[in-house]
Amino acid sequence: MAIDRASLKLKAGEFEQLSVTDSLTGLLNRRYLQERLSEEIQRSRRHRFSLSFLMLDVDNFKSFNDTFGHLAGDAALRIVANILKENLRGDDVAARYGGEEFAVLLPQTRIDEASVIAERIRLQIERTDFPNRRITASIGIASSSANMNVPDDLIWAADRALYEAKENGRNKVQLYDDFGDPLTEKVH
């Protein structure tokens, strides 16, 4: 009976891990990210830590899928996921947000530090030899502040900065300031 309980406990842990993991990329999923973001925002408020959040979108991914097929697209997304894993620290959380969009939670990270991490990721994606053709990514960054301290606001701000990067030519990192306006200064 003890063996059965241990086996059931192990299986429950495996199912829990599967429920928070994206099956294609092996990254965490959006649901887990949103729960963790809430926890980290509370922790950063309590301890007065900085917290940054990145939204990353693979540029022109639809045309990649349309040209080379979904299997090639899936392979490209796995490569992007691996680049994220390689460039993050132990406490950082990378997730597949949906489709070709990824999100990264950077606890205890100021926006200037986040921009260095984002630029390193952007450059590595740009320089990676993907099958079929070159791939680039646009990244938006927001940091928690007195004006932006709930998950939906932080996600919205990073997403807004991401779209600003795309509107300004793609393959860019764009910061979002504390006052709700995209910063005019771009990292790349």
The secondary structure of 152-178 as a DSSP string is HHHHHHHHHHHHHHHHTTSS-EEEE-T
Check pLDDT > 90 for residue 188: no
Cα–Cα distance, 51 to 142 (Å, whole number): 9
- Dihedral sign, Cα of residue 35, residue 167, residue 173, residue 94: positive
Could you read off the pLDDT of 8-47 as tens digits, one per residue?
454 444 444 446 899 999 999 999 999 999 999 999 989 9
Check pLDDT > 60 for residue 7: no
Say if domain 28-186 classifies as CATH 3.30.70.270.
Answer: yes
Cα–Cα distance, 157 to 133 (Å, whole number): 31
Cα–Cα distance, 96 to 21 (Å, whole number): 9
pLDDT at position 148 is 83
* Single pTM value for the model: 0.85
Catalytically annotated residues: 100
